[in-house]
Structure 1
Amino acid sequence: MAENSTGGESLLFLTDEQLRKGIEAMFFAYRGFTADPDRILEGMDYGRAHHRAIHFVHRSPGTTVGNLLAILGVTKQSLNRVLRTLFDDGLVEARVGKKDKRERHLFLTEKGRALERELSDAQRARMRAAYRAAGPQAVQGFRTVLEAMMDPELRQQYQGLKEGRQ
Structure 2
Amino acid sequence: MTDIKSGPNPLFLRTDEIMQAIELLFFAYRDFTGEPDELLAEYGFGRAHHRVIHFVGRHPGMTVSDLLSILQITKQSLSRVLSQLVTEGFIKQTPGEVDRRQRLLELTEKGAELDEKLFNVQRQRIVKAYKESGAEAVAGFRSVLMNMMDENDRTRFTQKNTLPTPRR
For normalisation by structure 1, the TM-score amounts to: 0.91
CA distance in 2, matches of 1:122, 1:8: 30
Alignment of structure 1 residues 14-163 onto 2, 5 Å: 14-160=13-159, 162-163=160-161
* C-alpha contact 1:71 1:157 (8 A) present in aligned 2: no
* C-alpha contact 2:156 2:162 (8 A) present in aligned 1: no
The CA deviation at 1:159 is: 3.7
> In structure 1, what residue type is equivalent to 2:69?
A
The CA deviation at 1:17 is: 0.5
CA distance in 2, matches of 1:158, 1:31: 24
Q: 1:52-92: CA deviations, max 9, x gaps?
A: 00000000000000000001111000000000000010000
The RMSD of aligned alpha carbons is 1.7
The CA deviation at 1:8 is: 5.3
CA distance in 2, matches of 1:135, 1:40: 29
SS at match of 1:95: strand
Identity of aligned residues (%): 47
CA distance in 1, matches of 2:33, 2:100: 36
Aligned length: 161
What are the ranges of 5 or more consecutive residues in structure 1 without an aligned counterpart?
A: none
2:6 corresponds to? 6
> In structure 1, what residue type is equivalent to 2:96?
G
1:164 corresponds to? 162
What are the ranges of 5 or more consecutive residues in structure 2 without an aligned counterpart?
A: none
CA distance in 1, matches of 2:144, 2:52: 25
The CA deviation at 1:44 is: 1.3
> In structure 2, what residue type is equivalent to 1:10?
P
The CA deviation at 1:153 is: 1.7
The CA deviation at 1:98 is: 0.6
For normalisation by structure 2, the TM-score amounts to: 0.90
